[in-house]
Amino acid sequence: MKSNIDKTDKIYIAGHRGMVGSAVWRALEKKGYTNLIGKTSQEVDLRNQEAVQNFIKAEKPVAIVDAAAKVGGILANSENQYEFLLHNLQIQNNLIQAAHEFDLEKFVFLGSSCIYPKLAPQPLKEEYLLTGALEPTNEGYAIAKIAGVKLCQAIRNQYNKDFVSLMPTNLYGPNDNFDLKSSHVLPAMLRKFHEAKLDNDAPVKLWGTGKPMREFLHVDDLAKAVVFAIENGLPEHLYNVGTGTDVTIKQLAETIQKEVGHKGNIDWDSTKPDGTPRKLLDVSKLHKLGWKAEIDLQNGIEGTYKWFLENTEAYKKVKY
């Protein structure tokens, strides 16, 4: 089951400055990997096929972790379907094709739980893929990620290569995006409660009813799952990565409010969309192989808020 990758082998982390890529980099370094490479989008535009081909040919990595993607919350996804579909297809197609053509040992493709049908049975099993309609607000992103999963599966089946897809649930942690126009629910809430606290505990307005249920995974736990996939030859092409437990958005808001120390009211705007009613992943396949999430939600939020306070430039640049 162990893979052939040595700790001195070159591993390319696409998207190494993002929340996921930087967490993967930290996790690999912690395990003793010494030959990690990453490039900014200015150095290598992953949407440009020729640029990606030339880069992989020159660097000759043994493995690629694809943590590069155009990402965002409900608002960003619903308003930019074209860009979310096109740019993600370009990025992953170019990386997967180059990894195949230059015969890389390993490819780890990172996606999202939004690939599953909106109204699929809960918890979501890997086999539910393509069994129903997607959530309309992030359909573009989901279709791109489904295409990536299917490309990796096809290469795995046709060429017997170790290409594996990991589908994490909602992620949060250091280096998250706290821009209120494009961020996901947890970092957006954290920023809103923080700024309301500074504004004499002003009321916080949140989207929806607070009733939907969501699962949240600390990005460092996902990074450990990526290391697990690199170090082992996983027997199947697709694995869910999550905690296996969920909370209501209302519970999440109250947990963040308490951690931040905000004393004001929470006003729910029920005219705004809730999104999918529930998204809980069945993580039994990866559990059986030996990986399990370790960071509980309260401790994870505490650490994320600490990072947020220590990195104010990460959000103060953004005007809204």
Residue 170 marked ligand-binding: yes
Residue 100 marked ligand-binding: no
Residue 171 marked ligand-binding: yes
Q: Which helix (H) or strand (E) holds 13?
A: strand 11-14
Residue 119 marked ligand-binding: no
**Residue 199 carries which side chain, given as an amino acid letter?**
D
d(CA 223, CA 74): 24
Residue 25 marked ligand-binding: no
Q: Contact, 79 vs 25, CB < 8 A?
A: no
Residue 274 marked ligand-binding: yes
Q: In which residue are the tokens 């309260």 written?
A: 298
* Residue 141 is a catalytic residue: yes
Q: Contact, 136 vs 77, CB < 8 A?
A: no
Helix (H, G, I), strand (E, B) or coil at 160: coil
Catalytic residue among 141, 172, 239, 315: 141
Burial 274-303 (b: 16+ CB within 10 A, else e): ebbebbbbbbebbeebebebebebeebbeb
Residue 39 marked ligand-binding: no
Residue 184 marked ligand-binding: yes
Residue 255 marked ligand-binding: no
Residue 235 marked ligand-binding: no
d(CA 184, CA 176): 9
Residues belonging to the binding site are: 15-21, 110-113, 145, 168-171, 184, 192, 207, 214, 274
Q: List active site positions.
A: 141
Residues belonging to the binding site for substrate are: 192, 207, 214, 274
Residues belonging to the binding site for NADP(+) are: 15-21, 110-113, 145, 168-171, 184
